[in-house]
Amino acid sequence: MEIKVLGVGCVKCNSLEQRTNEAAKQLSLENVVEKVSDINEITDLGILSVPALVINGKIKSVGKVPSVEQIVEWIKEEM
Protein backbone atom coordinates (compact mmCIF):
# COMPACT_ATOMS: atom_id res chain seq x y z
CA MET A 1 0.00 0.00 0.00
CA GLU A 2 1.43 3.32 -1.10
CA ILE A 3 -0.28 6.48 0.12
CA LYS A 4 1.14 9.89 -0.73
CA VAL A 5 -0.06 13.25 0.56
CA LEU A 6 1.24 15.95 -1.76
CA GLY A 7 1.59 19.46 -0.42
CA VAL A 8 3.94 22.24 0.46
CA GLY A 9 2.98 22.75 4.09
CA CYS A 10 -0.14 24.91 3.84
CA VAL A 11 -3.04 24.54 6.28
CA LYS A 12 -5.04 22.40 3.83
CA CYS A 13 -2.01 20.21 3.14
CA ASN A 14 -1.45 19.60 6.84
CA SER A 15 -5.15 18.88 7.35
CA LEU A 16 -5.12 16.30 4.53
CA GLU A 17 -2.07 14.64 6.04
CA GLN A 18 -3.78 14.42 9.46
CA ARG A 19 -6.99 13.02 7.99
CA THR A 20 -5.09 10.50 5.87
CA ASN A 21 -3.11 9.32 8.89
CA GLU A 22 -6.37 8.97 10.83
CA ALA A 23 -7.94 6.94 7.99
CA ALA A 24 -4.90 4.66 7.84
CA LYS A 25 -5.00 4.22 11.61
CA GLN A 26 -8.68 3.23 11.47
CA LEU A 27 -7.72 0.50 9.00
CA SER A 28 -4.77 -0.62 11.16
CA LEU A 29 -2.24 0.51 8.56
CA GLU A 30 0.92 1.89 10.10
CA ASN A 31 3.65 4.01 8.55
CA VAL A 32 2.16 3.92 5.05
CA VAL A 33 1.50 7.65 4.55
CA GLU A 34 4.31 9.48 2.78
CA LYS A 35 4.39 13.30 2.76
CA VAL A 36 5.69 14.69 -0.53
CA SER A 37 6.59 18.37 -0.49
CA ASP A 38 9.13 18.51 -3.35
CA ILE A 39 7.42 20.61 -6.02
CA ASN A 40 9.27 18.80 -8.81
CA GLU A 41 8.05 15.41 -7.61
CA ILE A 42 4.51 16.77 -7.28
CA THR A 43 4.49 18.15 -10.84
CA ASP A 44 6.11 14.96 -12.17
CA LEU A 45 2.98 13.16 -10.94
CA GLY A 46 0.87 15.54 -13.02
CA ILE A 47 -0.47 17.43 -9.99
CA LEU A 48 -0.88 21.16 -10.52
CA SER A 49 -2.81 22.01 -7.34
CA VAL A 50 -2.27 20.97 -3.74
CA PRO A 51 -3.17 19.36 -1.49
CA ALA A 52 -3.47 16.10 -3.35
CA LEU A 53 -3.86 12.47 -2.35
CA VAL A 54 -2.43 9.57 -4.36
CA ILE A 55 -3.12 5.95 -3.38
CA ASN A 56 -1.24 3.15 -5.16
CA GLY A 57 -0.39 5.53 -7.98
CA LYS A 58 -3.99 6.66 -8.51
CA ILE A 59 -4.89 10.30 -7.96
CA LYS A 60 -7.86 10.40 -5.59
CA SER A 61 -8.13 14.07 -4.67
CA VAL A 62 -6.67 17.38 -5.87
CA GLY A 63 -7.12 20.84 -4.36
CA LYS A 64 -9.42 19.86 -1.50
CA VAL A 65 -9.49 18.06 1.83
CA PRO A 66 -11.85 15.07 1.75
CA SER A 67 -13.35 13.62 4.92
CA VAL A 68 -11.68 10.82 6.86
CA GLU A 69 -14.58 8.57 5.85
CA GLN A 70 -13.98 9.25 2.15
CA ILE A 71 -10.26 8.55 2.51
CA VAL A 72 -11.05 5.27 4.30
CA GLU A 73 -13.25 4.25 1.35
CA TRP A 74 -10.53 5.09 -1.17
CA ILE A 75 -7.96 3.08 0.80
CA LYS A 76 -10.35 0.10 0.99
CA GLU A 77 -10.86 0.28 -2.79
CA GLU A 78 -7.10 -0.06 -3.29
CA MET A 79 -6.53 -2.86 -0.78
pLDDT at res. 11? 96
pLDDT tens digits, 2-45: 999 999 989 999 999 999 999 999 999 988 999 999 999 999 99
Q: What are phi and psi of 11, to 5 degrees?
A: -60, -45
Report all structural domains of the chain as residue ranges with CATH numbers, in order of start: 3-63 (3.40.30.10)
d(CA 17, CA 35): 7
Q: What's the pLDDT score for residue 31?
A: 86
Planar angle of CA 71, 41, 28, nearest 5 degrees: 30
Active site residue 72: no
Measured distance CA(28)–CA(22) in Å, rounded: 10
pLDDT band at 55 (very low <50, low <70, confident <90, very high): very high
**List 3, 5, 6, 13, catalytic entry:** 13
Q: Which of 8, 10, 11, 39 is catalytic?
A: 10
- Please state the pTM of the whole predicted model: 0.94
Residue with the bigger pLDDT between 31 and 52: it is 52
Active site residue 25: no
